[in-house]
Structure 1
């Protein structure tokens, strides 16, 4: 497709979009579509903030932290605009520059993201828990030269030693702290006149090879997820208060905890994940009405519900992993609420299949969100009959555009996005999840690429071979299990397991680290030396272990 004139000075993101023939078929006029025709010139930061204030006024509560401090929409805009001035006048950020954002989930991190949008730069939001090697890889792929980082998350970013990266810290006492500098700036900033299809953010995911993939999303994409799933399925009210566990570094959290509430003039609680009891305490204390989290958290909260008042909740959204029917029914019995199940993808930006209220069929994911369509494909690429499993394919107003990555051709075929999930379409039109179609492990709603964990383990001098697979787990969906061959003379003991796990936690995000390590004399391989992960995954073979 032909793109509108870009406002970017740094054209790296647009220059590294996939070739036109590799794009998904972006559809804005599917039957039942809510009306997704956006103007050619569009800045999503201005739409989410300035336009919302124009409709509803500046006095409404916008964001709050875990301690109970609240910013109105007017206060949020003033803070965002001051930071945008600092980005452009002090730090030298030009339109199109990639700006890394890192820190715990706080109102200030959200303000930084909105400021990057209004300045016409490109946000690359990463997890506060990511390790130096992971951060270096993201910065290299996206050619990041600027970073805004919470002082509490600075150490590993500094250790990443990214060449020519200018790190500006916020939340500290230093004279050059971002918040001190921005306090002196004007409280009004005119958002850059970006194109609707200028790149607004690069969201990173991990493929089965473990090499991060950057997903390019436009300014109109940010609004499209709010105008489809949120508007048509979630249907929030301006008086709602959103909260949840996903960080803003995950697109599930970015949409659910920032984009969706701001689009309708609601408010959001931005506090870092502190476990199920903390989340329930936040619901009770702040009177949260819309909750976003993964099935693992819903399961964990069930045992704590009796100690908290959750009567303020009216919407609960689950994504990140399959929601079992039994858990759905347990939550309904305990709270009276019907969880909105959904499937999304970083490549699609947010949820594209879901169901709410009377449309819910427990045990299924749902139906295509208005604005999207889905089908199940067989090995020949043709749709299979209802009731037969195949690969899930989806298209709509958003879609996969990898940043200079040859894996684009595998994800997008004939204009459809192939999510890597095996699904069945039931005769009533609901889509039922079967399994992942690749080696990705989904644990507690987080994607873990087995090869990435293997590479981390293999950096330990005592490890000769490693194979990482998922094992079904009632609480987490799957857990990460590492099958390891040790160097001769290294004892197969619990102490060795502990050392390997501690080592791995320093190499990659802790949630990716193996929860179980099994020692073997050798790993199953083909005559050509290819690792047979399936023999480890399905338990068909038994291996010596201590």
Structure 2
């Protein structure tokens, strides 16, 4: 029986026939029907001998698992006793990566509410769309980011209160209220299928969607990729750039370290490539999460300063060009751990590490999941053939009140929207987003493959490749390039880059048009917004 008395999310789930089939094939995925995610990860840490081990680190403070539990319990009491929230209420969370943000997220979920974390760079209009969709009763907001949220709240009386965190001395702040509460709170007795969070997609294709995930979904994710591929230990110190409001960041920088008894370091300054490399050395970080573009920018600083404690470097969020993988390996000696996941699936479902890495491949399917490459009718295609990726496992897509559900889930399988090739050994090779495949004069060209070739040229810092409508060829390959300092755009460089691509990959894949830009459009999580490049190309 559900403990969530506010059924807003449950009532707006897709019709049952549109749900993905959930598979719990491994023994560790067969979880009890009643569980609270935070009780499992935080309250039971003491039973595993982790109570006095560090959990959350910053330049100013380190909290053990026992310290964090006490603070989470105080915040949970504020939510229930002061703010009058009940299980199932949505709580909007607005903040960058910090101990305060992590504690607030854990308290919301432990108290049985639904966490709605939002990217820190969102403006009032975007926040307003999320508020309209999720209907949160209360917001917990970093004091530095409250202005846009206050603007978004105007005319939306359903969001009845904004409580500030990371404002320890401010009257009415979360810290001041929590300090007056006892440090014990019994976790809400949620059903495993009660909702823990709404995760808004990062908007690479336009209007974001809200993916719904239960307590069972998140804990099952812990038993898949972290257990079988990442293999973190209690001695690991984790760092990274993806926001906690992004499922890549929530898993990598909070949930998965807690599952392993590890600790996470949150800096008090924004990451730059050089600052991250230096902090890895100062903190002794052993696991790093960031996007391929950031690894590429970090590589010269890693070569200069060294990263002696680092043992795992996880890349996800967008396709990893092999040029970037090799650049990082040359700089550090570390074989990057690539993975593909989805907000809709919570986290990574195809990945390989260490000796299992194959050049150019993302990896094999993560234990607990099944994946195949299919045609437009959903029939599996022969190995070596380009098709659409279909995935099934212990997590799956359920959108909140969104007609696009039937696009993502078909016949019980999840279709993340990616074009892949699977080889005879079961390795998956990313081609492009399915809608980014460029069909030019009858040839299929994957934008990421052309991008990888361009990135191997010494003049190119970043690039994005899309199809541009063309009367004669249907489409042509068009590249948008950001140049490294010291290189000037011009016809000579265009020809040099075109010749370079022709010499690197099949000549028909070369970009017939190249445009130089000062920067590329990206989401807050670092993903390239190819839809904006396609609009520009048209």
SS at 1:304's partner residue? Answer: helix
Q: State the aligned residue count.
A: 467
Structure 1 segments (4+ residues) deviating >4 Å? 206-209, 439-444, 469-476, 508-518
1:186-226 CA distance string (max 9 Å, x none): 11110000000000000001567622211000001111111
Cα shift at 1:103: 0.9
1:386-425 CA distance string (max 9 Å, x none): 1110111101000000001110001000111001111001
Change in CA separation of 1:513 and 1:217 when aligned onto 2, cut-off 3 Å: closer
Change in CA separation of 1:516 and 1:360 when aligned onto 2, cut-off 3 Å: closer
Cα shift at 1:334: 2.0
Q: Which whole-Å CA distance do the structure 2 matches of 1:384 and 1:516 have between them?
A: 28
> Which of 150, 157, 160 in structure 2 is aligned with 1:163?
157
Q: Does 1:99 align with 2:81?
A: no
> Which of 314, 317, 330 in structure 1 is aligned with 2:314?
317
- Aligned residue for 2:373? 376
Cα shift at 1:57: 3.6
- The equivalences for 1:125-164 within 5 A come to 125-160=117-152, 161=154, 162-164=156-158
Once superposed, what is the RMSD of the aligned Cα atoms?
2.9
Q: Does 1:293 align with 2:293?
A: no
- Aligned residue for 1:43? 36
Change in CA separation of 1:322 and 1:196 when aligned onto 2, cut-off 3 Å: same
- Aligned residue for 1:56? 49
Change in CA separation of 1:247 and 1:179 when aligned onto 2, cut-off 3 Å: same
Change in CA separation of 1:120 and 1:363 when aligned onto 2, cut-off 3 Å: same
Q: Which whole-Å CA distance do the structure 1 matches of 2:39 and 2:478 have between them?
A: 43
- Aligned residue for 2:537? 536
- Aligned residue for 2:4? 8
1:143-182 CA distance string (max 9 Å, x none): 1121000100101000112333121111223210111110
Q: Which whole-Å CA distance do the structure 2 matches of 1:362 and 1:351 have between them?
A: 19
Q: Does 1:197 align with 2:199?
A: no
Cα shift at 1:274: 1.7
SS at 2:67's partner residue? Answer: helix
1:285-333 CA distance string (max 9 Å, x none): 1100011111111100111113323110011100011112222222222
Change in CA separation of 1:76 and 1:426 when aligned onto 2, cut-off 3 Å: same
Q: Which whole-Å CA distance do the structure 1 matches of 2:226 and 2:215 have between them?
A: 17
Cα shift at 1:54: 1.8
Q: Which whole-Å CA distance do the structure 2 matches of 1:210 and 1:75 have between them?
A: 41
- The equivalences for 1:15-34 within 5 A come to 15-29=11-25, 33=26
User: Normalising to structure 2: TM-score of the pair?
Assistant: 0.82
Q: Which whole-Å CA distance do the structure 1 matches of 2:531 and 2:424 have between them?
A: 40
Cα shift at 1:17: 1.0
- Aligned residue for 1:362? 359
SS at 2:71's partner residue? Answer: helix
Cα shift at 1:517: 9.9
Cα shift at 1:439: 6.0
Change in CA separation of 1:273 and 1:346 when aligned onto 2, cut-off 3 Å: farther
Q: Which whole-Å CA distance do the structure 2 matches of 1:434 and 1:69 have between them?
A: 44
- The equivalences for 1:144-543 within 5 A come to 144-160=136-152, 161=154, 162-165=156-159, 166-172=161-167, 173-206=169-202, 210-271=206-267, 273-438=270-435, 471=479, 473=481, 536=537
- Aligned residue for 2:444? none
Q: Which whole-Å CA distance do the structure 1 matches of 2:535 and 2:530 have between them?
A: 19
SS at 1:419's partner residue? Answer: coil
Structure 1 gaps of 5+ residues are 451-468, 477-496, 519-532, 538-546
Cα shift at 1:24: 0.5
> Which of 63, 73, 76 in structure 2 is aligned with 1:71?
63
Cα shift at 1:51: 1.0
Change in CA separation of 1:516 and 1:411 when aligned onto 2, cut-off 3 Å: closer
Cα shift at 1:336: 1.6
SS at 1:303's partner residue? Answer: helix
- Aligned residue for 1:111? 103
Cα shift at 1:280: 0.9
**Worse-matched range after superposition: 254-263 or 355-364:** 355-364
Q: Which whole-Å CA distance do the structure 2 matches of 1:204 and 1:279 have between them?
A: 27
